[in-house]
């Protein structure tokens, strides 16, 4: 007796053909899944064409193996279709690179509102950099807004006009003290920001190596140890300068009856007062010169760090520090 039974209408169904059909279906699925990966999850017309090309290629190869009339075999065709599709899929996955981070200039444009953010195409590193840049820009712009209130009076410090009356002298003192308070507040916020960034990076999904590399990149660009050392020296120098300038104008206010202003000249008839004012004025200007030198060093360090990642002050919409004494 034969193992194969027959029905009145013909031979029994070959169950092996089910596996052939499943192989073809699985191959088509892999082709479309491959296209989905290729399109980074955005399956549109282009991705559909990419998937269809995969189906056609697998079909043509499978036809050459088991579809021609002389060698036609549905089981072999289905197996060949699946294996070819699986091979092409494996190639796609093996050559697929991790999503590349956006360029620094693009990230800056996004933070400053010059370019729309595309969350679907953002890496974890990109999101962290947006946070870094956004936070430091907010701190810096808040600081600049504070010191801008005193820019007019600060620009007249040590000019004869600033000694013209007690109101002008007091406004000079207020400008110096207000600028110092804004700069000290900026330093405190900057340190807190650095600590906050480290905490956010620690809680991110980046690998330990990427976390370390990210922190190093931030420090090279914005807040490294060299930059912090210069900032500390600037604050220290500014405190001395502000104290000396306050002493100068306080002394002038106490002797305002002996001080006259004629045009751009400061006239002091009393020899002792004139000697004291000149001495204090020279000391204040020397301290201001030291501050300018330190501010120049800070700017060079910052520019070098930004250049390393391909951004400029203009990209960030920042000018030279407004609190730098004139």
> Residue 119 falls within a domain, yes or no?
yes
Q: Which residues contact 29 (CB under 8 A, 6 or more apart)?
A: none
Cβ atoms 158, 281 nearer than 8 A: yes
Q: What's the pLDDT band for 215 if we cut at 50, 70, 90? A: confident
Task: Calculate the alpha carbon distances from 170 to 246, 247, 251, 258, 285 in Å.
Answer: 9, 11, 11, 17, 18
Same domain (yes/no): 66, 209: no
Within this chain, do residues 201 and 74 fall inside the same structural domain, yes or no? Answer: no
Residue 116 and residue 234 in one domain: yes
Q: Are residues 114 and 73 in the same domain?
A: no
Which of 94, 124, 139 is the last residue in one of the domains?
A: 94
In a domain, 219, yes or no: yes
* Whether residue 192 sits in one domain with residue 77: no
What is the tens place of the pLDDT at every residue in 232-254? 899 999 999 999 999 999 999 99
Instruction: State whether 215 and 67 are in the same domain.
Output: no
54 and 116 within one domain: no
Residue 326 in any domain: the answer is no
Backbone angles phi, psi at 170, to 5 degrees: -65, -35
Local confidence band at 316 (pLDDT 50, 70, 90 cut-offs): low
Position 280 pLDDT exceeds 70: yes
Whole-number Cα distances in Å, 292 to 11, 172, 232, 297, 314: 98, 19, 14, 9, 21
CA distance 247 to 225: 33
Domain check: are 148 and 255 in the same one? Answer: yes
pTM (2 d.p.) = 0.62
- What residues make up the domain containing 88? 12-94
* Within-domain flag for 16: yes
The answer to the question of residue 323 being in a domain is no
The larger pLDDT score, comparing residue 33 to residue 95, is at: 33
Tokens 């690179």 belong to 97
Distance of CA 250 to the CA centre of its chain: 45
Within-domain flag for 146: yes
Confidence of residue 204 (pLDDT cuts 50, 70, 90): confident
107-158 tens-digit pLDDT = 777 777 777 776 666 677 888 888 888 888 888 889 889 999 999 999 999 9
Q: 153 with 187, same domain?
A: yes
Mean of pLDDT values over 46-50:
80
Same domain, 81 and 113: no
If you average pLDDT over residues 35-62, what whole number do you get? 78
Over the chain, what is the mean pLDDT?
A: 81
User: Per-residue pLDDT averaged across 47-71, rounded?
Assistant: 80
CA distance to 57, 60, 152, 245, 264, per residue, from 172 (Å)? 80, 85, 10, 9, 17
1 lies in some domain: no
Instruction: Tally the domains of the chain.
Output: 2
Verify that 304 and 246 share a domain, yes or no: yes
Asked if the structure places residue 4 within a domain, the reply is no
Same domain for 200 and 136? yes
Domain boundary (53, 70, 94) is at 94
Q: How confident is the model at residue 10 (pLDDT cuts 50, 70, 90)?
A: very low
Of 46, 64, 94, the last residue of a domain is: 94
């Amino acid at each position: 007796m034969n193992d194969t039974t027959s029905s009145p209408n013909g031979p029994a169904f070959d169950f092996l053909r089910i596996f052939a059909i499943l192989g073809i279906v699985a191959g088509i699925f892999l082709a479309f899944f491959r296209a989905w990966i290729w399109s980074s999850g955005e399956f549109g017309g282009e991705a559909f064409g990419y998937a269809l090309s995969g189906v056609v290629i697998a079909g043509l190869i499978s036809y050459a193996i088991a579809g021609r009339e002389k060698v036609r075999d549905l089981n072999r065709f289905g197996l060949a279709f699946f294996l070819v599709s699986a091979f092409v899929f494996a190639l796609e996955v093996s050559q697929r690179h991790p999503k590349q981070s956006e360029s620094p200039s693009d990230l800056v444009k996004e933070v400053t509102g010059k370019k729309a953010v595309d969350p679907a195409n953002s890496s974890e590193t990109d999101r962290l950099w947006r946070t870094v840049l956004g936070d430091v820009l907010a701190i810096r712009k808040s600081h600049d807004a504070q010191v801008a209130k005193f820019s007019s009076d600060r620009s007249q410090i040590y000019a004869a006009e600033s000694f013209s009356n007690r109101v002008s002298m007091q406004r000079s003192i207020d400008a110096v003290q207000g600028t110092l308070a804004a700069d000290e507040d900026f330093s405190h916020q900057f340190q807190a920001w650095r600590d906050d960034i480290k905490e956010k990076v620690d809680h991110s999904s980046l690998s330990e190596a990427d976390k370390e590399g990210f922190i190093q990149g931030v420090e090279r660009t914005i807040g490294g140890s060299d930059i912090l050392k210069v900032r500390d020296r600037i604050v220290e120098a500014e405190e001395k300068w502000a104290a000396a300038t306050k002493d100068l104008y306080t002394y002038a206010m106490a002797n305002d009856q002996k001080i006259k202003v004629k045009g751009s000249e400061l006239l002091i008839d009393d020899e002792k007062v004139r000697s004291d004012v000149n001495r204090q004025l020279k000391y204040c200007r020397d301290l201001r010169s030291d501050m300018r030198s330190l501010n120049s060093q800070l700017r060079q360090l910052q520019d070098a760090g930004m250049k390393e990642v391909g951004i400029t002050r203009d990209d960030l919409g920042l000018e030279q520090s407004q609190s730098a004494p004139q």
